Structure 1
Amino acid sequence: MAAPPYNSSKMISAQLRNKANEFLDSRKHANNLADILQMFEMESDNYTPVLLTIEVIFTELLKRGDLFEEIVPLKPNDVTPEGQYKRWLRECYEAAWSRTVSCMTKARGGSRLQALVTACKLLQAEGRYPLEPQNGYSFPAGRLKTIFNAFLDSEILMSAPITRFQEFSEYKDVQQYGLKVLAAMSYRKSPTPIFMQNYLELLDKLLTTDIMPEIKNKDKDKDDDKEDKVLCAVKGQPSFAYNAIICRRHANRCWAFACQWPLCAEPRTQKRALLLLVEKLMPLLMKPHLATDMLCDSLDAGGPISMLALQGVLELVCHHNIDYPDIYERLYAMFEPEMFATRHKRRLLHLADIFLSSTHLPESLVAAFAKRLSRLALVAPPEDTAALLQLVANLLLRHPGLKRMICYDDTPAIMSSDPYVMEETSACASGALSSSLWEVSALRRHWLPAVASAADKVLAAADPRAAPVTVQVPDELMLFDAELKKRFKSIEMNFIRPVGASLPSGERLAHYWEIAT
């Protein structure tokens, strides 16, 4: 029963293609354009054939210059048939554009993404072949604003279309004009949670391409590829002048408006805002210290939100001379068994390695971290256990005084119980210095060779020639691929080597069956 809709869709596509070719070949088929636009009203689900046809028709018309019209002030409209035909084409173009943009919100599935692609292709064609005379580089910012309005005014999350828009936001002109347009649209007194999430995701996609400082003349030849990444560039026309300072200014304005909204009201919006802040916006902010309140409040929230805020706090502490009290106590409290269920555990381990890289930290504090990491390694998944042990080895290498905590096989057992208190919230009061790393010795007998090897590296930290290494957390796919690449010896499947097709001697099957050789 699925074949007839497929055939009807193919038939509609063929009919639309024929109508488009007839319209482009001769003006006597001008009514075909009205029929094609009428298809928007007839369709209810699959708008893809109509959108593709609209894209082909108006891209060709813009390229031909059929929509170009020079408007002279105080001059009456051209009443000739040619002038009336051009005005009719312009009206059809505006109608097709509005219906294409509306499909971005009301269509379903692939038609919604195709509507976005068609709108961006028409924007590109209009930028290359403008409707009116232009002085300098031509970019239809008004069309881009219409697309952004469709994103932000939607009553549903527009994650899929905004993600697809990333392939266009990588162009320099789209990034610069997009940030300018978005900054002009950012003022909202009481935005909805859906608006805030769509806004933050759109801003994130506009910042996909790094905003680099202006290129010096002597370095222009090295960056030709980046300069060619322009959407509406045409040979022989004025080139686009990218200005990183303007992009940075507009990005700061976009974030300044967003900071006035209740971003921390919902966890999903707060995570989206923190990811955008720590990964894209922190190097661009002209006043990064204004983000201190949001980062500190998020750090106190706990869970994955505090893990995301930790990176921003590290940036403020290291580069902007911001002092956060009890930062190591907050970091110590993040290492709980629940951390292994979050997707930000790799980020936490990497940041912990940076925070604990100083050799001037108290031994009691570092010992508490080493002990807590070792205890968590007993219950962690195998891919996380190796990273935890690697971090413990780095701590022992940076602080040689803690090597007395290493528990070797020939060390006599002098403690009846472990004095370390796992439930203690204060790292210095946990009693870690009085304990030992017996967990590492136990992990030397782990069933996974990678974990056992990581435990051996911790015990080898007593070597003064060893150096700390970067903490890396492999995922399950990396471990699986590593096992597949290992070479195994040939494994014997029989006790007696078979000779031909005959059965080995003593086989009971020979009593019941006779096999001819």
Structure 2
Amino acid sequence: MAAVQQNFSKMISAQLRNKANEFLNSRKHANNLADILQMFEAETDNYTPLLLTVEVIFTELLRRGDLIEGIVPLKPADHSPEGEYKRWLRQCFEAAQTRALECIRRGRTSSRLQALVTACKLMQAEGKHPLEQSTGYYFPSIRLKNIFTVLLDSELSMSAPIARFQEFTEYRDVQQYGLKVLSTLAYRKSPTSIYMQNYLELLDRLLVCEITTEPRAKAKERDNEEKEEKLLCGAEDKAPFPYNPGVCRRYANRCWGFACQWPLCEDSRVHRRALLLLVERLMPLLARPHLATDMLCDSLDAGGPISMLALQGVLELVRRHNIDYPDMYDRLYAMFEPEMFATRYKKRLLHLADIFLSSTHLPEGLVAAFAKRLARLALLAAADDAAALLQLLHNLLLRHPALKRMICHEDSPAIMSNDPYVMEETCAGASRALGSSLWEVWALRRHAAPALAAAAAAVFAAADPRATPVALAPPDLAASFDAELKKRFKTIEMNFVRPQGMTTPSGERVMQYWELMA
């Protein structure tokens, strides 16, 4: 069945290609364009051939200038056959835009993604070759507004099309005009959770390219040294695009201001998406970041992965904006529970804890409680997670040499039973960690996983004054992928019995239940 559908799709693509070539080569085949647009009304889940055909046709028409209609002020419209033909082409162009936007909402995923790409490519072609004669830079923002209106659907999740739209947000003109258009569409009194999710994802994609926060003079010097920015609608024979980071920051603040008026904390997915957007993209761009204090503090009390995300925002407020948060370290201490290993943000939590505990002016009892907590959790965690916990413990012992007296070279039952540490205590100061020892690390030296055993041995090497702290920042995925590609693997065994010929080995039971046919 799949092969039949594939052959049918190829046949349709060939027919559409022939119709498009005939239309572009001769006006006597003008009805081919009407036939192609009429095919969008067919009930199917794959509009990809139609979308590609429409994209090719109108991109070529815009390049040739066939859609430009000369309008002279105070002069009646041209009703000649040439003028009527151009008006008909423009009507077909508008109809094609509408059809492409409709296809974003329906059909299979690949067809929806192609519909988005087609709409953006037509917008690019119109920007480079405007419908009205112009010598300056032109961006068809009304087309972008129509695309955003479809992506901000209140009933259908647009995660896949919005993720595909990221390839266009790398262009600076799309970023600036996109933030401007999004700020005009953001005002809603009672949006649905799906609408808020789509809105936050779209805003996140628009902020993927970093917006500089440097002063204008330094930014100009840096721009002169760097290569020219990528533009979607830029052309060599037109004026350059006036990109302004300050304008982008202003529109980003306006978009976030509208989002803050919504009930972002009612739905867990929306809440998590809002926190990710805030701590990873928006914090450096906000004009008044202290206004996010209430949201971050409430999120910090929510528990689970939401608290881990809010912790990064609170750290930013404490470090850069002098915001005082009471019982900060007790709340951080309470996050280190066995449940943390089930979240995707555990690496982020360890990195932030390493930053919070990097000060050498912290009380010894507080840091000892964290050290003991990490050692106890390392007994319960998987090998990879336990190794990361021991790396953080290694850094604590290096920065706070007084804690090296907790190092224990024994894990006898007597020490375990007489351990005064209270694991269930959520307050770091009341956990009685100073009277305890790190016997858990000594026990992990005999772990079966070599990496974990080596990490445990490295904790005991922290007594060396020449040792340096380990970086706990989350790894770069691209760098990790490149490192894996450079690794050399040994020959991988595909069979536990070496084959002696083409016959099946002894003990093989496949032939008892299956019959091999030639």
Taking structure 2 as the reference length, the TM-score comes to 0.90
Identify if the C-alpha distance between structure 1 residues 414 and 39 changes in structure 2 by more than 3 Å, giving closer, same or farther.
closer
- Deviations along 1:81-107, one digit per CA (max 9) or x if unpaired, are 100000000001001110111110122
- Which residue number corresponds to residue 38 of structure 1? 38
- Deviations along 1:134-161, one digit per CA (max 9) or x if unpaired, are 3621000000000000011352110000
- Which residue number corresponds to residue 351 of structure 2? 350
Is residue 339 of structure 1 aligned with residue 340 of structure 2? Answer: yes
Identify if the C-alpha distance between structure 1 residues 84 and 473 changes in structure 2 by more than 3 Å, giving closer, same or farther.
closer
Cα displacement (A) at 1:283:
0.4
Paired with 1:428 and 1:197, the residues of 2 have a C-alpha distance of: 40
- Deviations along 1:465-485, one digit per CA (max 9) or x if unpaired, are 22222126789999x969975
Contact kept? 1:264, 1:270, Cα under 8 Å: yes
- Which residue number corresponds to residue 155 of structure 2? 155
Identify if the C-alpha distance between structure 1 residues 405 and 197 changes in structure 2 by more than 3 Å, giving closer, same or farther.
same
- Which residue number corresponds to residue 429 of structure 1? 430
Identify if the C-alpha distance between structure 1 residues 485 and 56 changes in structure 2 by more than 3 Å, giving closer, same or farther.
closer
Give 2:19's aligned amino acid: K
When structure 1 is superposed on structure 2, of 409-418 and 425-434 the one drifting more is 409-418
Is residue 284 of structure 1 aligned with residue 285 of structure 2? Answer: yes
Structure 1: tracts of 5 or more residues without a match: 494-517
- Deviations along 1:430-455, one digit per CA (max 9) or x if unpaired, are 01000000000000101111111111
Contact kept? 1:100, 1:115, Cα under 8 Å: yes
- Which residue number corresponds to residue 512 of structure 1? none
Secondary structure in structure 2 of the residue aligned to 1:268:
helix
Cα displacement (A) at 1:167:
0.2
Identify if the C-alpha distance between structure 1 residues 74 and 484 changes in structure 2 by more than 3 Å, giving closer, same or farther.
closer
Contact kept? 2:154, 2:191, Cα under 8 Å: no
Contact kept? 1:387, 1:472, Cα under 8 Å: no
Cα displacement (A) at 1:416:
4.9
- Which residue number corresponds to residue 85 of structure 1? 85
Paired with 1:392 and 1:473, the residues of 2 have a C-alpha distance of: 17
Paired with 1:4 and 1:402, the residues of 2 have a C-alpha distance of: 71
Contact kept? 2:151, 2:198, Cα under 8 Å: yes
- Deviations along 1:280-327, one digit per CA (max 9) or x if unpaired, are 000000000000010000000000000000000000000001000001
Contact kept? 1:393, 1:468, Cα under 8 Å: yes
Identify if the C-alpha distance between structure 1 residues 410 and 280 changes in structure 2 by more than 3 Å, giving closer, same or farther.
closer
- Deviations along 1:165-185, one digit per CA (max 9) or x if unpaired, are 000011000000000000011
Contact kept? 2:410, 2:439, Cα under 8 Å: no
Contact kept? 1:383, 1:474, Cα under 8 Å: no
- Which residue number corresponds to residue 225 of structure 2? 222
Is residue 376 of structure 1 aligned with residue 381 of structure 2? Answer: no
- Which residue number corresponds to residue 516 of structure 2? none
Contact kept? 1:157, 1:194, Cα under 8 Å: yes
Give 1:127's aligned amino acid: G
- Which residue number corresponds to residue 319 of structure 2? 318
- Which residue number corresponds to residue 470 of structure 1? 471
Match runs of 1:101-500 below 5 Å: 101-134=101-134, 136-212=136-212, 213=214, 214=216, 216-224=219-227, 227-409=228-410, 416-471=417-472
Give 2:282's aligned amino acid: L
Cα displacement (A) at 1:30:
0.4
C-alpha RMSD of the superposition: 2.4
Contact kept? 2:153, 2:194, Cα under 8 Å: no
Contact kept? 1:397, 1:462, Cα under 8 Å: yes
Paired with 1:409 and 1:173, the residues of 2 have a C-alpha distance of: 64
- Deviations along 1:332-364, one digit per CA (max 9) or x if unpaired, are 000000101110000000000000000111111
- Deviations along 1:385-404, one digit per CA (max 9) or x if unpaired, are 11111111111111111111
Structure 2: tracts of 5 or more residues without a match: 497-518
Contact kept? 2:357, 2:367, Cα under 8 Å: yes
Cα displacement (A) at 1:487:
8.1
Give 1:107's aligned amino acid: G
Paired with 2:486 and 2:434, the residues of 1 have a C-alpha distance of: 38
When structure 1 is superposed on structure 2, of 198-207 and 400-409 the one drifting more is 400-409
Identify if the C-alpha distance between structure 1 residues 164 and 23 changes in structure 2 by more than 3 Å, giving closer, same or farther.
same
- Which residue number corresponds to residue 505 of structure 2? none
Cα displacement (A) at 1:48:
0.6
Contact kept? 2:411, 2:440, Cα under 8 Å: no
Taking structure 1 as the reference length, the TM-score comes to 0.90
Identify if the C-alpha distance between structure 1 residues 329 and 80 changes in structure 2 by more than 3 Å, giving closer, same or farther.
same
Paired with 2:279 and 2:287, the residues of 1 have a C-alpha distance of: 14
Secondary structure in structure 2 of the residue aligned to 1:357:
coil
Paired with 2:183 and 2:363, the residues of 1 have a C-alpha distance of: 47
Give 2:472's aligned amino acid: V
Cα displacement (A) at 1:68:
0.9
Q: Whose Rg is larger?
A: 1
- Which residue number corresponds to residue 3 of structure 1? 3
Contact kept? 2:153, 2:198, Cα under 8 Å: no
Following TM superposition, the consecutive aligned residue runs of length 4 or more in structure 1 with deviations greater than 4 angstroms are: 213-218, 409-416, 472-478, 480-488
Identify if the C-alpha distance between structure 1 residues 154 and 53 changes in structure 2 by more than 3 Å, giving closer, same or farther.
farther
- Which residue number corresponds to residue 508 of structure 1? none
Give 2:384's aligned amino acid: E
Give 1:165's aligned amino acid: F
Identify if the C-alpha distance between structure 1 residues 69 and 415 changes in structure 2 by more than 3 Å, giving closer, same or farther.
closer
Paired with 2:361 and 2:187, the residues of 1 have a C-alpha distance of: 47
Contact kept? 1:173, 1:242, Cα under 8 Å: yes
Contact kept? 1:387, 1:473, Cα under 8 Å: no
Secondary structure in structure 2 of the residue aligned to 1:378:
helix
Paired with 1:267 and 1:25, the residues of 2 have a C-alpha distance of: 56
Identify if the C-alpha distance between structure 1 residues 314 and 218 changes in structure 2 by more than 3 Å, giving closer, same or farther.
closer
Contact kept? 1:384, 1:473, Cα under 8 Å: no
Paired with 1:265 and 1:457, the residues of 2 have a C-alpha distance of: 44
Give 1:50's aligned amino acid: L
- Deviations along 1:258-294, one digit per CA (max 9) or x if unpaired, are 0000000110000000000000000000000000010
Secondary structure in structure 2 of the residue aligned to 1:201:
helix
Paired with 1:481 and 1:384, the residues of 2 have a C-alpha distance of: 20
- Which residue number corresponds to residue 503 of structure 2? none
Secondary structure in structure 2 of the residue aligned to 1:428:
helix
Contact kept? 1:383, 1:475, Cα under 8 Å: no
Paired with 1:11 and 1:412, the residues of 2 have a C-alpha distance of: 77
Cα displacement (A) at 1:109:
1.5
Paired with 2:413 and 2:196, the residues of 1 have a C-alpha distance of: 61
Instruction: Give the length in aligned residue pairs.
Output: 486
